[in-house]
Amino acid sequence: MAEFESPTELVAAARAAREKGYRRLDAYSPFPIEELTDALHLHHNKLPLLVLLGGILGGLTGYLLQYYVTVIYFPINIGGRPLHSWPSYIIITFEMTILFAAISAVLGLLGLCGLPMPYHPTFNVPRFALASRNRFFLCIEARDPLFDITQTCQFLETLEPREVSEVAH
Amino acid sequence: MAEEEQQDPHVAAKTIIAPGYTFGTVTDQIATVVLTKRTPIFWFVSFGTGLVLLLLFLLAVGLLFVKGVGIWGLRTPVMWGFAITNFVWWIGIGHAGTLISAILLLLNQRWRNSINRFAEAMTLFAVSCAGMFPVLHLGRPWLAYWLFPYPNTMGVQPNFRSPLVWDVFAVSTYATVSLLFWYVGLMPDLATLRDRTHNRFARFTYGIMAMGWRGSAKHWSIYETASLLLAGLATPLVLSVHTVVSFDFTIAIVPGWHSTFFPPYFVAGAIYSGFAMVLALAIPLRSVYGLQGLITDKHLDNAAKVMLATGLIVAYAYMMETFSAWYTTNVYEHQAIWHRMFGPYRVAYWSLISCNILAPQALWFKRVRSNPVLLFISSIVVLVGMWLERYVIIVSSLAQDYLPSSWSIFQATRWDWATYVGTIGLFLFLFFLFIRLLPMISIFEVRTLLPQAKVEEEVGN
């Protein structure tokens, strides 16, 4: 794992590592960096689909709940309106859509990130605490087919980092 | 040197972040407020005031549970009184937080980054205060769960054609989504606090709350998608909530309530009072904690402009309200407006006009917008004005409707006031607890504002 001082250096290093053929890479930064997402080819995720499904499920739940209650379970004449008075259902259908979609966005975020994860090997590196302050890290994982402890370390040194450290795991 | 120093405030006034900050100093300045052992006197005074008023609230609610809603000034025909006035006022205040965090995010207004965190907290606590009132107003608050459709042995269900039931869904969805959005925004900053603190207990607690966030690029990419989606969901939600609140009135046939322009009028009023509250909180906070470099004069200026704009929409709504009452040629509508302006509630009506329409015209002047003390005063004036507006709409319309024989004037009791002031205490209590325990400015979003955060692309890359 190599430590850098600026986002520009990190993005350049990530590009170089991709070019070198490393694929099992991760970068750590104190704030989101758009270019880094490009450099690591991370643009696609399933979250929008999950949120869409959550929203559809919520809308159906809201509408069907009201339909079931007002038409089947507890039919009652209110102001002479038909039992299936759909204009009155719009609001709750809408609110349930938003509620379910928002909950699936948050659960989806946690699920896709694999959080909560109280332990991760990177936390073993003492200087990694700075990843949430002002330092930028590039990590080449041992699972990478090209990974070789000496060669990878040498490669990381060529990127002119502030420091290279080994992640115990 | 002297010239440079003189230029500094001038530069700060134009930018959304003062020059000279680095990733490290931004982090330290915001995190220190939470992680320090020394707490400013200002905090103790504000928190103490909140606590005392909260105790008053508990007393008022305790008495309410024992004696019932009769301890408030609720008498036929004014059965909504203070409770609903306060409900609408508080929920309106909450709207600015969501506007700042969601709508301004979608519009890519980056100045929002340093005020969105505490504005969202304000939303959350304002909604908590708002939620108290309809529940306490039920008469039997311990049966509040009857508002939700659930399988029960009584064989009855809520009436889904009633705007009051819509309100239950709208407000509870709003509270839940605001909480989720706020928590998602907090996660990276909780990780920062976890890594910065030297206290074992604090590290453990922040660590649990941060859920193991480590700033991985994979996570950031999903995180950015999630916050955009949440913002996209919260935007229609926030507009819908006050629309539904206004349905509580417009769907009834009470003169002075039954009109189609209430939804936009209520939403504008909500944002108006919400920005007033943002200013009323931001101005003292930034001077006490020395955060003028992060919450700059530019922020105050922008917030004041939003206030002015929404204030003008509200002014237009007052004119339309009067015009359409006249234009209906409906004698009851005429009477409702006439009673409002010249009847028993004329003092409240003309005060609200001065607070909401006349006083904020001062915000046209740059000199007023760049003076924090004047801004603070005008935001308090707007908050008072918006409270009076809801009071006049609710109470004056109910007090004198179709049947003169049942007219009656609403008299607030001391318990009405105690409950209202008590929720202000609850708000202050929660808000200052938040200031002490969580970062009041989003650290990671402020980092993205720094010039160093830009990746410099090499030519030909």
Which pLDDT value is given to residue B362? 87
**Cβ-Cβ contacts under 8 Å, A14 against chain B:** 217
CB proximity under 8 Å: A 94-123 to B:
94-96, 98-99, 101-103, 105-106, 108-110, 112-113, 115-120, 122-123
Q: Please give the Cα distance from A79 to A99 (Å, whole number).
A: 30
Whether the bond into B9 is cis, omega within 30 of 0? no
Question: Degrees (nearest 5) of the Cα angle B175, B177, B179?
Answer: 70
B172 or A146, greater pLDDT: B172
Instruction: Kindly determine whether residue B214 and residue A123, on different chains, have CB atoms separated by under 8 Å.
Output: yes
Tell me the shortest Cα–Cα distance from B76 to chain A, in angstroms: 24
- Per-residue pLDDT tens digits for B394-443: 888 888 888 888 888 888 899 999 999 999 999 999 999 998 888 888 88
Q: Please give the Cα distance from B41 to B427 (Å, whole number).
A: 19
> Does residue B12 form part of some domain?
no
Instruction: Kindly determine whether residue A48 and residue B225, on different chains, have CB atoms separated by under 8 Å.
Output: yes
Considering only A74-78, B2-6, B272-276, B353-357, which range has the smallest mean pLDDT? B2-6
For residue A53, the enclosing domain spans 47-113
- Per-residue pLDDT tens digits for B54-68: 999 999 999 999 998
Q: Please give the Cα distance from B229 to B346 (Å, whole number).
A: 46
Which pLDDT value is given to residue B461? 41
* A86 touching B (Cβ < 8 Å): no
Instruction: Kindly determine whether residue B214 and residue A122, on different chains, have CB atoms separated by under 8 Å.
Output: yes
Q: Please give the Cα distance from B437 to B34 (Å, whole number).
A: 6
> Does residue A118 form part of some domain?
no
Tell me the shortest Cα–Cα distance from A138 to chain B, in angstroms: 9
**Cβ-Cβ contacts under 8 Å, A83 against chain B:** none
Instruction: Kindly determine whether residue A134 and residue B244, on different chains, have CB atoms separated by under 8 Å.
Output: no
Instruction: Kindly determine whether residue B444 and residue A122, on different chains, have CB atoms separated by under 8 Å.
Output: no
> Does residue A29 form part of some domain?
yes
Which pLDDT value is given to residue B54? 94
> Does residue B460 form part of some domain?
no
Which pLDDT value is given to residue B458? 55
My answer on whether A53 and A107 are in the same domain is yes
Instruction: Kindly determine whether residue B24 and residue A133, on different chains, have CB atoms separated by under 8 Å.
Output: yes
Q: Please give the Cα distance from B46 to B427 (Å, whole number).
A: 11
| Residue B205 structure tokens | 């607690």
What's the Rg (C-alpha) of chain B?
24
pLDDT band at B14; cut points 50, 70, 90: low
Instruction: Kindly determine whether residue B149 and residue A99, on different chains, have CB atoms separated by under 8 Å.
Output: no
* A124 touching B (Cβ < 8 Å): no
The low-confidence residues of chain A, meaning pLDDT below 70, are 169
For residue B397, the enclosing domain spans 30-451
CB proximity under 8 Å: B 25-64 to A:
27
My answer on whether A129 and A154 are in the same domain is yes
Share of chain B above pLDDT 90, in %: 29
Tell me the shortest Cα–Cα distance from B31 to chain A, in angstroms: 10
Whose tokens are 């909504």? That residue is B80
Q: Note the helical H segments in B197-296.
A: 200-210, 217-250, 262-288
What integer is the mean pLDDT of B83-106? 88
Tell me the shortest Cα–Cα distance from A17 to chain B, in angstroms: 15
Which CATH number do you get for residue B71? Answer: 1.20.1630.10
Domain count, chain B: 1
> Does residue B8 form part of some domain?
no
> Does residue B82 form part of some domain?
yes
Pairing verdict, β A25-28 and A136-140: antiparallel
Instruction: Kindly determine whether residue A88 and residue B161, on different chains, have CB atoms separated by under 8 Å.
Output: yes
My answer on whether A23 and A64 are in the same domain is no
My answer on whether A75 and A61 are in the same domain is yes
> Does residue A169 form part of some domain?
no
> Does residue B4 form part of some domain?
no
> Does residue B55 form part of some domain?
yes
My answer on whether A67 and A102 are in the same domain is yes
pLDDT band at B32; cut points 50, 70, 90: confident
> Does residue B3 form part of some domain?
no
Domain count, chain A: 2
Residue of A35, A106, A131 with shortest CB distance to B455: A35
* A8 touching B (Cβ < 8 Å): yes
My answer on whether A38 and A67 are in the same domain is no
* B181 touching A (Cβ < 8 Å): yes
| Residue B309 structure tokens | 């704009």
Q: Please give the Cα distance from B165 to B341 (Å, whole number).
A: 32
What's the start-to-end Cα distance of chain B, in Å?
A: 40
pLDDT above 90 (res B104): no
pLDDT band at B2; cut points 50, 70, 90: very low
- Per-residue pLDDT tens digits for B191-228: 888 888 888 888 888 888 888 888 888 888 888 888 88
Among chain B residues, the shortest Cα distance to A108 is held by B226
pLDDT band at B125; cut points 50, 70, 90: very high
Among A67, A84, A133, A169, pick the best mutation site for testing chain B contact (most B Cβ within 10 A): A133
* B456 touching A (Cβ < 8 Å): yes
* A145 touching B (Cβ < 8 Å): no
Tell me the shortest Cα–Cα distance from B87 to chain A, in angstroms: 19
| Residue B158 structure tokens | 């809520």
> Does residue B10 form part of some domain?
no
Which pLDDT value is given to residue B4? 39
* B230 touching A (Cβ < 8 Å): yes
* A44 touching B (Cβ < 8 Å): no
Residue of B23, B155, B454 with shortest CB distance to A133: B23
> Does residue A19 form part of some domain?
yes
pLDDT above 70 (res B3): no
* B156 touching A (Cβ < 8 Å): yes
* A49 touching B (Cβ < 8 Å): no
My answer on whether A63 and A7 are in the same domain is no
Which pLDDT value is given to residue B403? 86
CB contact at 8 A, A42 and B218: yes
Residue of B156, B213, B237 with shortest CB distance to A115: B213
pLDDT above 60 (res B460): no
My answer on whether A33 and A57 are in the same domain is no
My answer on whether A51 and A103 are in the same domain is yes
Among B35, B216, B242, B246, pick the best mutation site for testing chain A contact (most A Cβ within 10 A): B216
CB neighbour list of residue B237: distance below 8 Å, 6 or more residues apart: A95, A98, B98, B173, B174, B177
User: What's chain B's average pLDDT?
Assistant: 86
Which pLDDT value is given to residue B174? 92
Amino acid at B294: L
> Does residue A68 form part of some domain?
yes
pLDDT band at B387; cut points 50, 70, 90: very high
> Does residue A67 form part of some domain?
yes
Q: How far is CA B368 from the centre of its chain?
A: 23
My answer on whether A52 and A106 are in the same domain is yes
